[in-house]
Amino acid sequence: MNAAAEEVATATKKEVEAVVMKDGRTVEFVGKRKLLKETLVEGTNVAVRLDFRNGETRTFPIPPDLLLRFAGHGAEQKLGDETAGESDVDDMVLAVDDLIGRLEKGEWSIQRTGGGFAGTSVLMRALMGLSGKTSDAIKAFLTGKSQQEKMALRTSPKLKPIVDRLEAEKASKGAKVDTEALLASLG
């Protein structure tokens, strides 16, 4: 199911407008959406079809000599999109690592919630410190754990002191203000 079809399927309160395209197909536009994009693959030929809410359609067959450049652009976009919702760079790295692992298994469209790795990098380091296990072992342990489970681990009595220390270290590295000097001036 493509993204447009998924959006139609999940539209509960949004208005759906069926538009008869100039090529005779009927396409459903949900809410305020004005453009639907679809990748068409036939053998080794790839094209992108753009359906506009006014009934116009444009199909762009990707020239074979540009196919790898387009593939690279798509990979850049997909991998970069996976960092949306993550504010911590270490969590961004984990999100991308997770996506790469899923893609290597052929899992293209499994969705995750933006921010789903929030705090995971600190949790990983705390678990590594507590257990002495490698980052790969801890990644495997955390795979499939919900954000709620990860947050519960962070606040567990065994891990909380380690997490607090790591968070404080991280905050001090990013601080642009000399808090020691400020506190010293307090007297």
Whole-number pLDDT of residue 21? 96
Q: pTM for the whole thing?
A: 0.54
Asked if 27 and 19 touch (Cβ cutoff 8 Å), the reply is: yes
pLDDT tens-digit profile of 148-167? 888 888 888 998 888 888 87
- pLDDT interval class at 86 (50, 70, 90): confident
Instruction: Report pLDDT digits (tens) over 121-150.
Output: 788 888 888 899 888 888 888 877 887 888
